[in-house]
Chain A
Amino acid sequence: SQQGEEDPQALSIQEGENATMNCSYKTSINNLQWYRQNSGRGLVHLILIRSNEREKHSGRLRVTLDTSKKSSSLLITASRAADTASYFCATDNKPGTASKLTFGTGTRLQVTL
């Protein structure tokens, strides 16, 4: 079963616009991460936010976490065509060591020129 559910399932925007994707999860977490996947192959880690953090930035990425609502959002500002990909959130719930990462269903982002 999926721990996380992303919405929207698909998002189409124009280059230069901002893209926002949301992730909801079911159980308490230790960390929440966002990954990107191009062309249905390997995923690339984008950003990690810990359960005691509320917001984190990395370049054009901004991630928020609301543990009371069990949800997170990923904002990509000033999108580029190269941002076209699928984006997944992943959660783990075991503090102190790596634990099983459970992925959401993903958002397919299409950025057009």
Chain B
Amino acid sequence: GAGVSQSPSNKVTEKGKDVELRCDPISGHTALYWYRQSLGQGLEFLIYFQGNSAPDKSGLPSDRFSAERTGGSVSTLTIQRTQQEDSAVYLCASSLASGGHTEAFFGQGTRLTVV
């Protein structure tokens, strides 16, 4: 596709339910990032995938959060047993990792509301 695609755009879920957020990066981009942004706040790093290397999971806030990247392309962020504090916009970005090109292209995000 032309850009990074995230789905769904909006998700309302009940506390305690699991949710899956999907990210389709730009074709050929080897780096993929997940960030979380609460209302009016900055971007909180969650996880980073780079090619075949082990992902950097240092930003995941708890073991309820996990992410996969299948075949070096599509990524899924899973939040288990959602809590109200998980409500935020979840942003995915991808980057072409060559020659020091670190410009990240962002999707439009998934707005998660836990009620």
Contact B45 A95 (CB under 8 A): no
Cβ–Cβ < 8 Å partners of A40 in chain B: 37, 39, 89, 109
Query: How far is B100's CA from A48's CA once the two chains are assembled, in angstroms?
Result: 11
Q: How far is the CA of A88 from the CA of B101 in the complex (A)?
A: 18
Please indicate the chain A residues that have their CB under 8 angstroms from the CB of B101 in the complex: 98
User: How far, in whole Å, are A44 and B3 apart by their CA atoms in the complex?
Assistant: 12
Residues of A within 8 A of B45 (CB): 100-103
B-facing residues in A84-111 (Cβ within 8 Å): 88, 90, 92, 95-106
Tell me, yes or no, whether B43 is within 8 Å of chain A by CB. yes
The proximity string for A residues 4-44 relative to B, scoring 1 for CB distances below 8 Å and 0 otherwise, is 00000000000000000000000000110101000011111
Within 8 A of A (CB), among B9-55: 30-31, 33, 35, 37, 39, 41-43, 45, 48, 50
Q: Does A68 interact with chain B (Cβ within 8 Å)?
A: no
22 A-B residue contacts at CB 8 Å? A30-B100, A31-B100, A31-B102, A40-B89, A40-B109, A41-B89, A41-B109, A42-B106, A43-B91, A43-B104, A45-B104, A45-B105, A50-B100, A88-B43, A97-B98, A97-B100, A98-B30, A98-B31, A98-B97, A99-B50, A101-B102, A103-B35
Known A-B contacts: A41-B108, A90-B104. Give 19 more (CB < 8 A).
A30-B100, A42-B91, A42-B106, A42-B107, A42-B109, A44-B106, A92-B102, A97-B50, A98-B98, A99-B48, A99-B50, A99-B102, A100-B45, A100-B56, A101-B45, A101-B102, A103-B42, A103-B43, A106-B41
